[in-house]
Copies of this chain bind each other. A is one copy, B any other.
Amino acid sequence: MSSENPPSSLWGHDVLEAHGHRLTASRRAILAALSNQASHLNPTQILEVARRQHARLNLASLYRNLTLFTRLGLVRPLYMGESQPQYIRNDQPHHHAICVRCNIILDFDECAASGLEKLVAGRYGFQSSSHLLEIYGVCQSCQAKPAV
């Protein structure tokens, strides 16, 4: 038939709808800015990116929505030693190796924590939804530089 609805596959829209939240231009723009799996952006950077799509976006609304999205489990703040947290998608576990000198972040996919999720479930009755693993150290190129 001709009335087929194209699946609105934009990330997060379904979750907002399912919880009765409105799909506003601000929210679309923020979600779009965060939708890239690889992006690690702080609020100021998110504002900048999202404004390319919705120029009137305001920092106050951004903060309100980051809080909402975090509560809904769409995103998660990461503290990487900078002044502001960086927000990332909360789709799947994240595994980083972070260089303590230059702050470069290496992502990798291997996961070692699913066993531990079962362990805390069994021992503490803790119902885990995702996890974050950060390995701290010095990256290859910083090892070559003289120490600070």
Contact = CB atoms under 8 A, between A and B. Distances in A.
Interface string A62-91: 000000001101001111010001000000
Q: Give this chain's copy count.
A: 2
Interface residues of A, number: 43
A124 B136 contact: no
A113 B140 contact: no
Contacts of A95: 116
Interface stretch (A26-34, A51-59, A126-134): A126-134
Contacts of A81: 70, 77
Which residue among A99, A106, A112, A117 has the maximum number of chain B CB atoms within 10 Å of its CB?
Answer: A112
Interface string A111-146: 011011101100111111111111111111001000
